[in-house]
Structure 1
Amino acid sequence: MLSLRENISQTAVPSLKAHPKRSSLHHSATAPPPHPEPTAIAKLILKTDNSETITRNLHTLTNWTPHLVHTVLKRLWNHGPKALQFFNILDTHPFYAHSATGFDHAIDIAARLRDYKTVWALVARMRSRKLGPSPKTFAIIAERYVSSGKADKAVKVFLSMHEHGCSQNLNSFNAFLDVLCKSKRAEMAYKLFNIFRGRFRADTVSYNIIANGFCLKKQTPRALEVLKEMVERGLVPTLTTYNIMLKGYFRAGQIEEAWGFFLQMKRRKVGIDVVTYTTVVHGLGVVGEVEKARKVFDEMIGAGVLPSVATFNALIQVLCKKDNVENAIIVFEEMLRKGYTPNVTTYNVVIRGLCHAGNMDRAIEYMDKMKDDNCKPIVQTYNVVIRYYCDDGEIEKALAMFERMTGGSCLPNLDTYNILISVMFVRKRSDDLLVAGKLLIEMVDRGFLPRKFTFNQVLNGLLLTGNQGFAKEILSLQSRCGRLPRHFRL
């Protein structure tokens, strides 16, 4: 295996002096690059199992910057154990010190792995270096607790912030309410809001967050009650407030109310913006009012409000879902002609539309086009294509796309593994079941926790196809993950 320096030196980047007072690990005549390429670093970390080798290679490179470190962490995001290994090794580098943002990234990864012991050890390390923790750090931790079903723990995190040297204020209070509301815990957020609003002097942002929380749960009457209370307390609604309610009506399927509210906003001249129009275009389109959505899109331009990339994305998505993908591509081309640069979301919407229309070859062409716009496919892009290949029974093509994904700079996530493992049971072939078992092991190694159902499904499949030895390995893995198995006779 190539060393980190040797591998990166092949990536056509400028050269750099080696680490002072350190000889080259492999005595290579080629000097390492000044700005190591993050993708190459991530690949080497993924391919190298020996911790000492990785440490020597990372310490050999000197031009580490916070931006480079954060980029590598993002490349390794879907392999939590390797990401934390990289962070901890670099933490011992003689000429580099992690930033507060670097610690926040590491804490987020550890919390996603539900390794809370590591989370709080990192928080303590941040504090000892006077890098924090900040309100953002606690918002990250709270969000991970909530997403793992431990909302009560998240509340304790907020209430204990001061014990870690970070005092609570209105901004941190609002950030915490936002975490709860976006996780569909609007009732819990509202109770805490009522308890602490006097202490933190709740503002319009606080009320907007709570209203949005109820809108996310399609409880628009509750959201209106909150906003009425806000006005009664002397706070003035903002354009954001109106946009929250508008989107809430559309989300709840209250189309007549949404349209009436939009017209009311226009009559009141509250300063309708691009977010307002984008919400209406998307909301109308979702319910099949494609022509009306297109008229609103044209109207906004006539009103002097320039559409954003998000507006084009909304219209393209609507056309893909409720009209046809060819009309969506016409809008995509129109967007290019007007000088807009498509983003990942734009491409993902078009690619999904082409896949849904059964035009897989053209969808792949658009994946390749993304590079021309300096816009690389992300895990969601690959997942869409893999899922449609699986739905079409094209299992080999799905696995080939998985290989293309892992061979690039994009690591699979939990959805990727679940999609592929599920399709391995379609043909009931022994070889497919072995692939499912290998995927299950790989996903656990990367820090993902499979459902108990997934473990049992793979175990049953291996047993039925005569793979008792491999089944024992999976059973042992299941026990280590805490997904206690039911009784299997191996």
Structure 2
Amino acid sequence: MLLSMYLRRFDRLRIVCPPSFRLLSGKPISNVDGENHRCQEDQSSYDQKTVCEALTCYINDWQKALEFFNWVEKDSGFTHTTETFNRMIDILGKYFEFETSWSLIKRMTGNPVSLPNHVTFRIVFKRYAMAHLVQEAIDAYDKLDDFNLRDETSFYNLVDALCEHKHVVEAEELCFGKNVIGNGFSVSNTKIHNLILRGWSKLGWWGKCKEYWEKMDNEGVAKDLFSYSIYMDIMSKSGKPWKAVKLYKEMKSKRIKLDVVAYNTVIRAIGASQGVDFGVRVFKEMRERGCVPNVATYNTVIKLLCEEGRMKEAYEMLNEMPKKGCGPDSITYMCFFGRMEKPREILGLFGRMMRSGVRPRMDTYVMLMRKFERWGFLQPVLHVWKTMKESGDTPDSSAYNALIDALIQKGMLDMAREYEDEMVERGLSPRRRPELVEKSLEETLVCG
């Protein structure tokens, strides 16, 4: 509620604030009658968590996020921390605003409570890798001496970012090729090989994964829990879950103690190869061995139950989660939404989700709108859209396209055109739709 209040106030302030001042200055805001006084009254209510949540609401609109970021500091007296800076840098990186990101990093160094840390540059590496700017990511690593962060952790973060975003070839060259980065520290051979192995899995090159797994044996690289967890996941995703189960048994024979990540992989694999009941059996085994399930564990079991049409048992699992101190997340509810076929039942569960405080991801909203659109129901689409806007979430292009398609389906071309124009104003690219193009040409001819 507190966050919603701030967001509503900020939206009102944006209306009266001249656009030319929005990104650089908060002064016009403070001159609005009455607003400055109210901001001062609520000043103590702003904290790091609230500001981070507000920025998350603007994750699909970097300009609005930056506007809020500057405003909350200049007009409310809030002092940004390393965490709030990191959140803003992540949003900027999503839209390739790297120059602005570096200007914020420079600002961070001016205050002891906002100094850049390993997370800051992990975000930078990730965003460069996602933009396929590999050399820029490496150059960023080379700058870390200036921040006293050029160490083993940062090197792992760089390699992990490259592997995570399909630049495993470059990562392997960086670690083992001719132009290996000269570091003043040693790295774990097993950990680096695990990152590379996971990188090949991200590419879906299953043959290369098998080759690399065998290469680790040939080179005498010790395989640990994470090695097995990664390769079990590879076997599951490559359509060979029974081989993942075999690896699980091999781990047990070697007395390797499984953690929650390994168990989650095993439950998914054994559920796919031998059925949900065997997955539930492993779920019970992990609890008996003192390994506490996390939300991903419950999601895995719930998904298996939903896929088998055992919705009652899935609901029982959903109700059990809070009692075990493991509240459901948006993915939990998406497991249900994916199998439900009754609009009223979906809306009921969606309402329960919102009331429980679980924040939907953007793909949750899109999934529901697309589902209702396929069934030809416009009102539920509009309800989901309204809920999304009231929650302070900024729609992305997928959400806009889902709404526009639903409106076109019902012949509401004028309204669809309005939302398409809104997309363009926000810098998003709508899909080409013959219905809207024809309408536009017809209007042009009439006006002419």
TM-score band (shorter)? 0.7 to 0.9
Deviation of the 1:230 alpha carbon: 5.8
- Deviation, 1:338, is 5.5
Question: Which deviates more from structure 2 when the two are superposed, residues 140-149 or residues 102-111?
Answer: 140-149
Matching residue of 2:245: 259
CA 1:442–1:193: 2 relative to 1, 3 Å:
farther
Q: Which of residues 127, 136, 146 in structure 1 aligns to 2:129?
A: 146
Matched, 1:243 2:229: yes
Q: For residue 403 of structure 2, what is the aligned residue in structure 1?
A: 420
| Structure 1 position 135, deviation (Å) | 3.5
Could you say which residue in structure 2 is the equivalent of 1:46?
Answer: 11
CA distance in 2, matches of 1:207, 1:147: 21
From 50, 63, 75, the counterpart of 1:81: 63
8 Å contact kept, 1:367–1:377:
no
Q: Distance in 2 between matches of 1:302 and 1:109?
A: 42
Q: Is the contact between residue 313 and residue 346 of structure 1 (CA under 8 Å) also seen in structure 2?
A: yes
CA shift at 1:339, angstroms? 6.1
How big is each residue's C-alpha offset from its partner over 1:268-289, in whole Å with a ceiling of 9 and x where there is no partner?
1101233222212222334673
2:166 matches 1:184? yes
Letter of the 2:302 counterpart: I
Give the structure-2-normalised TM-score: 0.83
Name the CA distance, whole Å, in 2 between partners of 1:385 and 1:315: 22
Percentage identity across aligned positions? Answer: 24
Q: Which stretch of the first structure deviates more once superposed, 393-402 or 339-348?
A: 339-348
Counterpart for residue 34 of structure 1: none
Any residues of structure 2 matched to 1:310-389 within 5 Å, and which? 310-335=296-321, 340-354=326-340, 358-389=341-372
Residues 241, 272 of structure 2: 8 Å contact kept: no
Query: Are 2:54 and 1:62 equivalent residues in the alignment?
Result: no
User: What is the letter of the counterpart of residue 104 of structure 1?
Assistant: N
**Contact 2:378–2:406 (Cα < 8 Å) also in 1:** yes
Is 1:463 the equivalent of 2:437?
yes
Structure with a larger share of its residues in helix: 2
Deviation at 1:324, TM superposition (A): 4.0
CA distance in 1, matches of 2:407, 2:354: 31
Partner residue, 1:28: none
What is the CA deviation profile of residues 63-93 of structure 1, one whole-angstrom value per residue up to 9, with x for unaligned ones?
Answer: 2333332222123323322111011123324
Q: Does 1:391 align with 2:371?
A: no
Q: Is the 8 A contact 2:57 2:393 kept in 1?
A: yes
The alpha-carbon deviation at position 172 of structure 1 amounts to: 0.8
Aligned residues: 424
Determine the C-alpha separation between the residues in 1 that align with 2:72 and 2:419: 29
C-alpha deviation, 1:470, in angstroms: 8.5
Is the contact between residue 62 and residue 95 of structure 1 (CA under 8 Å) also seen in structure 2? yes
Partner amino acid for 2:421? I
Alpha carbons 1:341, 1:373 under 8 Å: kept: no
Query: Partner of 2:84 in structure 1?
Result: 102
Distance 1:71 1:466, change over 3 A: closer
Which amino acid is the alignment partner of residue 412 of structure 1?
Answer: P
TM-score (norm 1): 0.76
CA RMSD of aligned residues (A): 3.2
For structure 1, which runs of at least 5 residues remain unmatched after alignment? 1-10, 12-36, 472-489
Q: For residue 99 of structure 1, what is the amino acid of its counterpart?
A: T
1:96-146 CA-to-partner distances (Å, cap 9, x unmatched) read 322122222222222223333322322232234464443432322232233
Task: Tell whether the 8 Å contact from 1:284 to 1:292 is kept in structure 2 after alignment.
Answer: yes
Q: After alignment, is 295-304 or 174-183 more displaced? A: 295-304
The residue type paired with residue 15 of structure 2 is D
Q: CA deviation at 1:94?
A: 7.6
